Structure 1
Amino acid sequence: GRRADRIKGLVWEGDGWLLLYKRLSESRFQWPRSPKEVRALTQQQFRWLMEGLTITPKKSVRTVEPPEYMG
């Protein structure tokens, strides 16, 4: 749909489907707008999405090596 403040989802539980529906009251879901943007989510990304957060960080944290001991 056009309203980005609501989302529906299906989860297979082994014996049937569970229908999920969530509506955010003060924000919008960051959801793909085209088939090219669709992708699989990790559990953490799903949790972020359900909290109204974006699933892709704006800036990635760069990995650094710890400094050598200068004793």
Structure 2
Amino acid sequence: MIASKPVDFRKGINGLAALVSTALGANPYSGDIYVFRSKRNDRLKMVVWDGSGMVLLTKVLEDRRFIWPAVHAGAVRLSASELALLLDGLDWTRVEKKPVKRPAKTA
């Protein structure tokens, strides 16, 4: 889940976990990955509970900016593949998902 608004990047693991609860209305201990961005869109921080403790990850793009969704409040859920594209600095919003036909019955 990615937060739509930039955060103060001086916040550490406890401050970001608190934002998951207060700003996103989510449980920071759910095991979901929560992604926050800087004002310049060239840095992001992720927090996730791995079952034994809270993990904080930071990524800095050296020569470009992260593509962020145009959401004005709250958060957006990403698939694992969309998150991978985001972390690579690619425009994940332009990737078109092909519809998958649901099988009518099993053999």
Match among 35, 46, 55 for residue 18 of structure 1: 55
RMSD of aligned residue pairs (Cα, Å):
2.2
Moved over 3 A (4+): 60-63
Cα distance in 1 for partners of 2:40, 2:97 equals 32
Partner of 2:73: 35
Unmatched runs of 5 consecutive residues or more in structure 2: 1-37, 100-107
Contact 2:42 2:61 (8 Å CA) reproduced: yes
Partner of 1:7: 44
Number of paired residues?
Answer: 61
Q: Which has the higher helix share?
A: 2
Identity in percent: 34
Alpha-carbon offset, residue 2 of structure 1 = 1.1
Q: Give the secondary-structure state (helix, strand or coil) at the position aligned to 2:83.
A: helix
Partner of 1:69: none
Bigger Rg, which one: 1
Q: 1:14 to 1:62 in 2, by over 3 A?
A: closer
Unmatched runs of 5 consecutive residues or more in structure 1: 64-71
